[in-house]
Amino acid sequence: MKPDLFEAPDYYNLDDLFSEEHKLVRDAARQWVKRDISPIIESYAQKAEFPKQILGGLAEIGAFGPYIPETYGGAGLDQISYGLIMQEIERGDSGVRSTASVQSSLVMYPIYTYGSEEQRKKYLPKLATGELMGCFGLTEPNHGSNPSGMETKFKDAGDHYLLNGAKLWISNSPFADIAVVWAKNEDGRIQGLIVERGMDGFSTPETHNKWSLRASATGELIFDNVKVPKANLLPGKSGLGAPLGCLDSARYGIAWGAIGAAMDCYDTALRYAKERMQFGKPIAAFQLQQKKLAEMITEITKAQLLAFRLGQLKNEGKATTQQISMAKRNNVDMALKIAREARQVLGAMGITGDYSIMRHMMNLESVITYEGTHDIHLLITGADITGIPAFT
Amino acid sequence: MKILVCISNVPDTTSKINFTDGDTKFDANGVQFVINPNDEFGLTRAMWFKEKQGATVHVATVGETTVEPTMRKALAIGADEAIRVNSVPTDGYFVAQQLAEVVKNGGYDLVIAGRESIDYNGGMVPGILATLLGMNFVNTCTNLEVDGTNATAIREIDGGKEKIATTLPLVIAGQKGLVEESDLRIPNMRGIMMARKKALNVIEPIEATKATEDTKFEKPAPKGAVRLIDAENIDELIELLHNEAKVI
């Protein structure tokens, strides 16, 4: 892996819009990624292993629940800070960002938002320090884009619930200490349960042979008559809206994160194009390369503005699910296209692990599918502007 | 022990340097500023004194409001309090007089300044500061231990090291070696949160004169193109090195 020479593009001087604290938080994350992620990430991706030693560092830079109030061990930061942290981590690797997104938005967020005071106190401070790691079980083998059809269910068994079913494509599952699991009760209503590692009948087999998010651990959650204490039911909300609320938060983070991956690809391609000589001049001097680079920075700038405005709306509590869908869809698609174009700029060198581009590209193939597929997000916008849902 | 670390706000080392107003002023447009690396080594060593010996650490700078993010970062790294003398840092003599006033009013035992800032490389402030305060002074300091009021410092000298025994109150001009690059700290979230509540005091400058004025800046000439000489043609190479490059 080459030394990390990353310089963040800021074509529209967005830094002028960020507060002093936003920049302090972002720069700390940026510095940490350069020091602790860039030197190791390629080898972990190549050997398909999650670098567990970075969990403490992720907690230190505030990647676990940055917007959770200080009372519960969070940092009490705003949504733009959360976005900037996700951007910087994904600049390093989408898999590492996924681990942070899951912990923050899919585990800490539901426990904070839908959990009891006891649950908040019990889990959130330890999740914030990384002492406990969590995962989120919604997707099932037969229910991806249609989570309401889920088959995982639980029933009242007196002093506990009995949970049965299976979840698939679960980031962090192989090492998570707890899982926030969505299942149907006896009335068919979706509710959240906190399942802890070690409970009888609960297993988390790892998913192998991924070509994407290789430095992130993905697996299944299998529940075979798992006895879940009644105190582990999230009491605050039921129905599909509860897990979807978590997804809003995670998708918002992804909209920022994808910018990080795109920035890294663009920055790498720009540097390479200025140094690589062909026909007696740098390839950056050729119009076709300039077209690629100019379009990349244009798209990154548009994505940055979209994410910034969405951040303002989130801070004001006004961001809609539909607005978040648009940003997630646009920004991930933008990043994936930039990764592909940037790979072309590097020619054959682009396929090697000496550069981060192909790793980002392969990672983004997951990111464009998880947390609502590219197509489903389009239909969310379609339904919003026409008033006619076209999902089925 | 009460320590003051003097901080310069300098352009990041990757910044593209330009000048305006007929090459008399630095163009700060689009430039990222950081804690002067020599000061950061000193700040990190001061954190060590804080954690191991219970020292109190303040940071001070001379600058306008634009330097506040740099001071807030120093607070996030762990300094207890920050002081900003509200003025443009015109030259080393002016800055040293302002900092001397801060030291007098704060009653510091140890003042750590960077050997030089990496922007203008004046290297004047620590020495002038020690002189104005009548404190002991160790220049180009690469290690410092303090035991009560006794201090042991190591400084770089030509081709070797010099070990010095001295006493507090003391001014040192620090550099790499006080700590290593791998010891430098990234502000963690707890530090950033605590920095919100720490004081960043702004004080007005005292009447002071400057001793020098920048009249013009000049960038090095851009590197010329490489000229390849055929390996067979040694005579031409020697002729060019002698008559054109004038290096032999």
Instruction: Tell me what the mean pLDDT of segment A212-233 comes to.
Output: 98
Instruction: Tell me what the mean pLDDT of segment A207-228 comes to.
Output: 98
Mean pLDDT by 10 residues, chain B (248 residues): 97 89 89 95 98 98 96 97 96 97 98 95 95 97 97 94 97 97 94 94 95 90 83 91 89
| Residue A7 near chain B (CB below 8 Å) | yes
| Residue A16 near chain B (CB below 8 Å) | no
Q: Residue A1: its pLDDT value, please?
A: 59
Q: What is the pLDDT of residues A304-333, one digit of tens each?
A: 999 999 999 999 999 999 999 999 999 999
Please indicate whether, in this complex, the C-beta atoms of A21 and B186 are within 8 angstroms of each other: no
pLDDT above 70 for A249: yes
pTM greater than 0.90 (yes/no): yes
Q: For chain B, what are the domain ranges?
A: 2-216
Higher-confidence residue: A364 or B221? A364
Q: What is the pLDDT of residues A78-116, one digit of tens each?
A: 999 999 999 999 999 999 999 999 999 999 999 999 999
Q: What is the pLDDT of residues A348-357, one digit of tens each?
A: 999 999 999 9
Instruction: Give contacts of B 17-76 with A, CB under 8 A.
Output: 30, 68-69, 72-73, 76
Question: In whole angstroms, what is the distance from residue B42 CA to residue B4 CA?
Answer: 10
Structural domains in chain A?
14-129 (1.10.540.10), 134-232 (2.40.110.10), 241-386 (1.20.140.10)
Active-site option among A42, A140, A299, A371: A371
Q: What is the pLDDT of residues A26-74, one digit of tens each?
A: 999 999 999 999 999 999 999 999 999 999 999 999 999 999 999 999 9
Please indicate whether, in this complex, the C-beta atoms of A28 and B188 are within 8 angstroms of each other: yes
**Cβ within 8 Å of residue A283, ≥6 positions away:** A273, A276, A277, A289, A345
Structural contact between residues B188 and A60, judged by C-beta atoms closer than 8 angstroms = yes
Share of chain A above pLDDT 90, in %: 99
| Residue A125 near chain B (CB below 8 Å) | no
| Minimum distance, in Å, between the CA of residue A90 and any CA atom of chain B | 18
ipTM for the assembly = 0.87
Please indicate whether, in this complex, the C-beta atoms of B189 and A62 are within 8 angstroms of each other: yes
Q: If one looks up domain B2-216 in CATH, what number appears?
A: 3.40.50.620
Told to judge if A206 belongs to the known catalytic residues of this protein, a careful annotator would answer no
Nearest beta carbon to residue A28 from set B14, B30, B187: B187
Q: Residue B222: its pLDDT value, please?
A: 83
pLDDT above 70 for A241: yes
Nearest beta carbon to residue B192 from set A25, A32, A59: A25
Higher-confidence residue: B241 or A2? B241
pLDDT band at A143 (very low <50, low <70, confident <90, very high): very high
